[in-house]
Amino acid sequence: MQRAAWVTEAQLHGTADLPPLTQTLAELQAEHDRQCWLVAVEERRIVGIVRAYRADGLWHVGRLGVVPDRQGAGIGSRLLSAIEDAAPSDVRGFALFTGPKSSRNVALYERAGYRRVSSDDGLIHLGKDR
């Protein structure tokens, strides 16, 4: 599911060398053991996923993805809201990032109240207070 969800990002950015596409099963399992994961399921099919972890008082949201044939159906918005709701009570805010050409992702995050924060790594970083 993860690889399917990031195909559109790879096409948009002109490279298949994106961590969600190159991540090994062992790396996925290690992340699963130390992060909160949520999935969206329709008729026994996983159609979306998101994960997050707590660090430095923030809930770091990552790898929010929806399979291509279900993108634009509100699944990403619901997953984002659900992962925020899953944050521990002492978390003071949320942080995430996306690719520099991911205007649809940025629009989704901004609709959810996220605002861009400065960065110098070529990615678009966004944050939101709790």
Per-residue pLDDT of the chain (130 residues; tens, 9 = 90+): 888 888 888 888 888 888 888 999 999 899 888 999 999 999 999 999 999 999 999 999 999 999 999 999 999 999 999 999 999 999 999 999 999 999 999 999 999 999 999 999 999 999 999 9
Residue 55 pLDDT: 96
Residue 12 pLDDT: 86
Q: What's the rounded Cα separation, in Å, for the pair 31 and 121?
A: 22
* Residue bearing tokens 């991911």: 102
The three-state secondary structure class of 91 is coil
pTM, two decimals, is 0.90
User: Which residue segments constitute the domains of the chain, with CATH numbers given?
Assistant: 2-129 (3.40.630.30)
Please give the distance of CA 118 from its chain centroid, rounded to a whole number: 19
Q: Containing H/E element for 30?
A: helix 25-34
Contact 51/74 with Cβ under 8 angstroms? no
